[in-house]
Amino acid sequence: MTAMAFENLTKPDSRQSIMFISGPGEFAGLLGLITGEPNIYSLQAVGETLVAVMPREHFYALVRGYPGALFSISHLMTERMSPFLRQVDFALEWLTVKAGRALYKRGEASDNVYVVLNGRLRQINFLSNGERRIVGELGRGDLVGFLEVFSAQPRAHTVIAIR
């Protein structure tokens, strides 16, 4: 069995790119099982394929019965990561922003770049009359604040979590 994983796209005019190729005896979908989040890719078989499927409920039952299995599964996942990604992981800080709260505000120093893993963010500007103007919305996989950090400029918009 060989399968190619393509990124799931939210924009209809976007072109798919191959994220990884999975061969015989390899696993796919482990991150989604562990986190409970939907996978960010779709699998497409290359030729005739026999696949073993484990429903999420059975996976959780297995981990409850054998908690040590989670370490083995995590090891399988990290083996697939590139050395660069493994190094980047040490530099990451995980942050949860509750709905209605600001990730950052216009004019603040630009010292971080963010990646949306789940939920939605809204970029807004406050007008002189007190009204809000929506500049854009960001979702899963979007990079937030990169241009401001790269150009060493203060934040151009206020970014608020909406869900």
Pair 22, 79 in one domain: yes
Which domain covers residue 71, as residue numbers? 3-90
Cβ count near 50 (within 10 Å): 7
Whether residues 8 and 78 fall in one domain: yes
Together in a domain, 75 and 140: no
Pair (75, 124) in one structural domain: no
pLDDT for res 67:
87
> Is 95 a member of any domain?
no
Domain tally for the chain?
Answer: 2
Task: Please tell me whether residues 11 and 68 are part of one structural domain.
Answer: yes
pLDDT at 91: 74
pLDDT by 10-residue block (mean), the chain, 163 residues:
55 62 79 73 79 85 87 78 70 88 96 90 92 91 89 93 90
pTM: 0.53
Coil, strand or helix at 79: helix
Give yes or no: residues 22 and 67 share one domain.
yes
Task: Mark whether 46 and 125 lie in a shared domain.
Answer: no
Same domain as 133, residue 66: no
Looking at residue 7, its pLDDT comes to 54
Same domain, 79 and 7: yes
pLDDT of residue 120: 94
How far apart CA 156 and CA 106 sit, in angstroms, is 5
**Which pLDDT value is given to residue 121?**
96
* Residue in 65, 56, 64, 5 with CA at minimum distance from that of residue 30: 56
State the Cα–Cα distance between residues 69 and 27, nearest whole angstrom.
Answer: 14
3-state secondary structure at position 116: coil
- Burial grade of 96 (CB within 10 A; 0-12, 13-18, 19 or more): exposed
Asked whether residue 10 falls in the same domain as residue 70, the answer is yes
